[in-house]
Structure 1
Amino acid sequence: MLSSNQKRRLTSVQIIVFSYVTLILVSGVILWLPLFHNQGVSLSFIDALFTAASAISVTGLTVITIHEVFNQWGILFLTLLFQVGGIGIMTLGTFIWMLMGKQIGLEQRIWIATDHNRSTLSGLVNLMRNILVMALIIELIGTVLLGAHFLIAGYYTDWYEAFYHGYFASVSAFTNAGFDLHGNSMLDYTHDYVFQLTVMLLIICGAIGFPVLVELRTYFSYRRAKARFTFSLFTKITTLTFFSLVVAGAVLIYVFERQHFLLDKTWHESLFYSLFHSVSSRSGGLSTMDISLFSTPTLFMLSAMMFIGASPSSVGGGIRTTTFFVLIATVFANMRGYKDVKVFGRELVDEDIMRSFVVFFIAIVLVFMAVILLVWLEDLPFQHILFEVCSAFGTTGLSTGVTAHLGTPGKLILIITMMIGRVGIINLLLFLKRDDRIVRYHHPKERIIIGQ
């Protein structure tokens, strides 16, 4: 156990990381207990730990079939883990803290800011309250819509079963957890476009970022009051990049697959196959087909999409959409001879530009290392291993089906990758960072040759 002095020396990032690690370990033990299993089912601890890590990181990669292993109590516990992982451990912690009548102090506010990658401490408690309320409202609406659809469409005749499956699908989609109760993701709804549209909207609401949702709600309240409202640069960049990637992904899936998987499909089947999996590759992890049937170019493209991931302060992982935007904007500004990066009438801060390139580089190194280790340890196709690693890092959960065939070392590698994807590269760097040192001198500067 840590002494009180050692506890005080822990940074907010270290506290957050240790909280998630502890939660994964405890949840793995709980899911390992026979109390949460169907009768006669046994589950190894490594598989229980993998399931807990996948649920808390809201990834959706699985090495088991959920409904065959867990009973209803186990499944409900999984949905609780989706909430903790998706909304954030500090959001739920803040809510519980307020219910107990406790005051949210400076230390707790720093933890919240760290968990949600916020640079300021002002308005954090209201933000957490708004996030929780909006999340519960969206999930409730999703549960009602999907439950009613299951009844009307005849998937289930019993209202409890219909809304039970509607609840699970709604929470899994909004938190981008990517889990399902059928063992084949969403293959049972391949031609159900109402269901697919509802799920896509839930995935987008979770992946686009909580600050965007809060600003959107503020915008509509300003409109009702007939007041002027200006969206932040963050929201403009996030929204533009997010939907540009969705459109680009759908177009590329169609182009790559029109002579392959989509060859014998109708126009509306091709549209929904392309659009659904483009949206799901942001961080959702649900699929309406066997992903392994996609051609190699599509698998590589989706790997890149999952590597980019969702928006900051959302339920998703990856390097995040804003990082990708800053990289592209910086490259184009440099190509045009500008030293500063200007977007939407604003100039990006040099520190944010540097952070984006650091995040990109570290993410590439981590994914590269994970792929090399898995290629060395497992006798599996390279493109499938790359796909699974990017899916884990982006906390997406799309799978070609090879995760279930991994050995214990391979599962541990993906657990670490999912954890890093959930916590974020910046927090990982801050976790490893030493105390700032005072530099009392500088060396002479000298130019070197770059890129030629």
Structure 2
Amino acid sequence: MKKGLERFMTPFRIIISVYILSMFLFSFLLWLPFSHQDGIEMSYMESLFTSVSAVSVTGLSVIDVSESLSYTGVVFLALAMQVGGIGIMSLGTFVWMLFGRKINLSQRLLIMVDQNQYQFSGMVKLMRGILLLALAIELVGALILGTYYLQHFDTAAEAYYQGSFAALSAFTNAGFDVTGQSLIPFANDYYVQFIVLLLIFAGAIGFPVLMEVREYFTTKSSYFKFSLFTKVTVTTYFLIFVIGAAGIWVLERGMFFEGMAWHEQFFYSIFNSATARSAGLTTMETSSFSLPTLLFISLLMIIGASPSSVGGGIRTTTLAVMFLSIRSFALGKSDVKVFGREIHPEDKQKAFMVLSFFMFGLFLAVTLITAFEQGNPRVELIDIIFETSSAFGTTGLTTGVTSSLSRPSLFLLMLLMFIGRVGILVLLFSVKRKETKSSFRYPTERMIIG
């Protein structure tokens, strides 16, 4: 029976199970009375939704954190965000090393699955580097923001408390806040926005990219070369960031931006382009945007951040590989080349699967929530499209209807956030049976496509 269980619990299923258990663990901790402020009672449904949103580093919420959670509850929420942001196996590796335990082959395989890597070598070193680098970035961000907040808050303790949580939320792209207003109070404070943007970029660009950048500056070797993954990821991420900012400005220059100074339009555009990719923090009421802009931001949330990062969505490399494949096909080429390298055929297949599953799941979710919310006067179709894109992309932006949704809709959003966190490929591979070679093959026949 033990061997049967071991065969059933593949690394992919173990990762999924661990994330599910962590979501239920934090939901119980957030449900406990001492996690709430005096006079506040939270239902288990509210605690569960908050926990799933935190572990999936999404940020959608049916409660006001600043008014509902005590300092203890905020600590539990921060831990859930840290677990979801850095990853279960990264923190697990740290605990194993802390107690002097060796990381065996099966544990290395779990790390590889959790971080979406392809090889065993260097896994422990990568996890240690990711954890130390992430904590260092969060600490620096907390000190910078906390020190700056001294002029905005009555006590140093409150300033550094707010700064620490804001830095954690920005780096993990979790989107939660303890101000009750996200970053709206700092809508005209470009220093705070700039620091938050840097933290968002650091969390969303991908841990392997950060590790390579660190290696580049520490080794200073003339033989060092960035990997194809880093080149494609960074190029795609910042290209979409620029396109996103330009698109938001074009769509809103005669609407929300009308009458604003150029620098206000500039920062609203770049901040919303960055936060729409996964972060969920905002310097304005998102519902103030026009319908075309909300649809455009929904597209940015669907694209999401980079692989092996804190963000969700289809990921930047998926979009890049699909675009390059279409370009090669249109030019009559069978292979896909970029930066002097050729994309592996299996990676093209994975990109197609991720995009197809995501779009089908998103369409199905929008259809079901639309059916669930029939007769709800506070929820319109654009709200549903925006909310589902935000949940599936683990972004956390909302037009303000989350708390107005029915229980079936909230359960569906939790499912989307969970899938967005563990990753579509991990989910698909979890149902995959062991590959067996066929003893025979059928004749091949062409299909009419398109």
Q: Aligning the two structures, in what range does the TM-score lie when normalised by the shorter sequence?
A: over 0.9
Report the counterpart of residue 103 of structure 1 in structure 2: 102
Q: CA deviation at 1:443?
A: 1.1
Q: In the alignment, is the contact (CA less than 8 A) between 1:222 and 1:228 conserved in 2? A: no
Matched, 1:255 2:250: yes
1-structure distance, mates of 2:130, 2:350: 26
The runs of 5 or more residues in structure 2 that have no matched partner are none
- Normalised to the residue count of structure 2, the TM-score between the two structures is 0.98
Q: CA deviation at 1:437?
A: 2.7
1-structure distance, mates of 2:166, 2:304: 21
Matched, 1:193 2:190: yes
Report the counterpart of residue 147 of structure 1 in structure 2: 146
1-structure distance, mates of 2:303, 2:438: 35
Counterpart of 1:231 (choices 226, 235, 239) is 226
Q: CA deviation at 1:296?
A: 1.1
Alignment of 1:36-47 (within 5 A): 36-47=35-46
- Post-superposition Cα deviations, 1:180-234, rounded to whole Å, max 9, x if no partner, equal 11222111110000000000000000000000000000111132xx533110000
Report the counterpart of residue 205 of structure 1 in structure 2: 202
Report the counterpart of residue 136 of structure 2 in structure 1: 137
Alignment of 1:44-443 (within 5 A): 44-151=43-150, 154-223=151-220, 226-378=221-373, 379=376, 380-443=379-442
Tell me, what secondary structure is at the counterpart of 2:258? coil
Q: CA deviation at 1:435?
A: 2.2
- Post-superposition Cα deviations, 1:22-67, rounded to whole Å, max 9, x if no partner, equal 1111111111110111011000111100000000000000000001
What is the identity, as a one-letter code, of the residue corresponding to 2:420?
Answer: G
Q: CA deviation at 1:4?
A: 6.4
What is the identity, as a one-letter code, of the residue corresponding to 1:214?
Answer: M
Q: In the alignment, is the contact (CA less than 8 A) between 1:211 and 1:313 conserved in 2? A: yes
1-structure distance, mates of 2:171, 2:3: 39
1-structure distance, mates of 2:70, 2:370: 35
What is the identity, as a one-letter code, of the residue corresponding to 2:43?
Answer: S
1-structure distance, mates of 2:250, 2:6: 55
2-structure distance, mates of 1:103, 1:5: 26
2-structure distance, mates of 1:3, 1:123: 30
1-structure distance, mates of 2:294, 2:352: 25
Tell me, what secondary structure is at the counterpart of 2:382? helix
Q: In the alignment, is the contact (CA less than 8 A) between 1:110 and 1:121 conserved in 2? A: yes
What is the identity, as a one-letter code, of the residue corresponding to 1:328?
Answer: F
1-structure distance, mates of 2:99, 2:405: 44
Q: In the alignment, is the contact (CA less than 8 A) between 1:54 and 1:60 conserved in 2? A: yes
2-structure distance, mates of 1:187, 1:9: 48
Q: In the alignment, is the contact (CA less than 8 A) between 1:291 and 1:400 conserved in 2? A: yes
Q: CA deviation at 1:438?
A: 2.3
Tell me, what secondary structure is at the counterpart of 1:430? helix
Q: CA deviation at 1:8?
A: 4.8
Q: In the alignment, is the contact (CA less than 8 A) between 1:333 and 1:341 conserved in 2? A: yes
2-structure distance, mates of 1:436, 1:339: 27
1-structure distance, mates of 2:147, 2:179: 19
2-structure distance, mates of 1:222, 1:95: 25
What is the identity, as a one-letter code, of the residue corresponding to 1:84?
Answer: V
What is the identity, as a one-letter code, of the residue corresponding to 2:329?
Answer: N
- Post-superposition Cα deviations, 1:59-98, rounded to whole Å, max 9, x if no partner, equal 0000000011110011011111111000000000000011
2-structure distance, mates of 1:31, 1:431: 29
Tell me, what secondary structure is at the counterpart of 1:397? coil
2-structure distance, mates of 1:260, 1:7: 58
CA RMSD of aligned residues (A): 1.0
Q: CA deviation at 1:294?
A: 0.7
Does the C-alpha gap of structure 1 residues 373 and 420 become closer, same or farther in structure 2, counting only changes over 3 Å?
A: same
- Post-superposition Cα deviations, 1:378-436, rounded to whole Å, max 9, x if no partner, equal 13211111111111111110111111111111110000000000001100101121222
Tell me, what secondary structure is at the counterpart of 2:177? coil
Q: In the alignment, is the contact (CA less than 8 A) between 1:50 and 1:411 conserved in 2? A: yes
Q: CA deviation at 1:7?
A: 4.0
1-structure distance, mates of 2:401, 2:431: 32
- Post-superposition Cα deviations, 1:78-124, rounded to whole Å, max 9, x if no partner, equal 11111100000000000001111111000000000010011101000
1-structure distance, mates of 2:414, 2:222: 48
Q: In the alignment, is the contact (CA less than 8 A) between 2:321 and 2:351 conserved in 1? A: yes
1-structure distance, mates of 2:13, 2:343: 29
Report the counterpart of residue 32 of structure 2 in structure 1: 33
What is the identity, as a one-letter code, of the residue corresponding to 2:288?
Answer: L
2-structure distance, mates of 1:449, 1:9: 38
1-structure distance, mates of 2:4, 2:30: 34
For these two proteins, the number of residue pairs brought into alignment is: 446
2-structure distance, mates of 1:5, 1:433: 16
Q: In the alignment, is the contact (CA less than 8 A) between 2:26 and 2:76 conserved in 1? A: no
Tell me, what secondary structure is at the counterpart of 2:283? coil
Q: In the alignment, is the contact (CA less than 8 A) between 1:60 and 1:397 conserved in 2? A: yes
